[in-house]
Amino acid sequence: MKIQSSLLIVALGALVSGCSSTQENIAQTNAVIKNTAFETNLEKDLLHVLCKGKKPVKWVQNYSFEAGKQSVLVKVENYSRINMTEVPLQKEVRSTYAQLTVDLVDGQNYIINRKRVNSDDNLNMTVWIQNEETGQIVSNKADVTLVKPKVLEQDYEARACRAS
């Protein structure tokens, strides 16, 4: 009986150590794109990966991608507080999409970033993906204009993801 228990313990130990090294290898062979949020007292900008596996995805902080050239569809959303006296605060939502091409490297982390472009209505921005550690821009820059969301936005997003 002692021999069987010893063998079981050794087998379980090998299984557990094998699983942890497999997870480590997966983490090292994928690149991670992190979604970002920028918030002030008056507004919030959300920039996030829209598609994974040719399907729309909801906001998750990080998405893992295989290394290599990728086409990433990013959703850009802005929530502006338009009436500070109403309770609850009224918000105006605007959104748009940016198609970014990036060459991802194994084990690297990236973030989606943006810069507001000066305009009277403050609805224009430039969007890109950059290396989180070095700050180096690794994708094309896309100039976008935020607009009121389409009525059938979910249908549009599903079609756009299938095409990407």
Domain ranges (residues) in the chain: 30-163
According to the model, what pLDDT value does residue 112 have?
96
- Please answer whether residues 106 and 29 qualify as being in contact, where contact means their C-beta atoms are separated by less than 8 angstroms: yes
According to the model, what pLDDT value does residue 92 have?
83
d(CA 22, CA 149): 42
Helix, strand, or coil here: 13?
A: helix
According to the model, what pLDDT value does residue 113 have?
96
According to the model, what pLDDT value does residue 23 have?
36
Express each pLDDT in 117-153 by its tens digit.
876 677 899 999 999 999 999 999 999 999 987 766 6
Start-to-end Cα distance in the chain: 59
According to the model, what pLDDT value does residue 115 have?
93
pTM over 0.85: no
Express each pLDDT in 47-70 by its tens digit.
999 888 888 887 777 888 999 999
d(CA 144, CA 52): 21
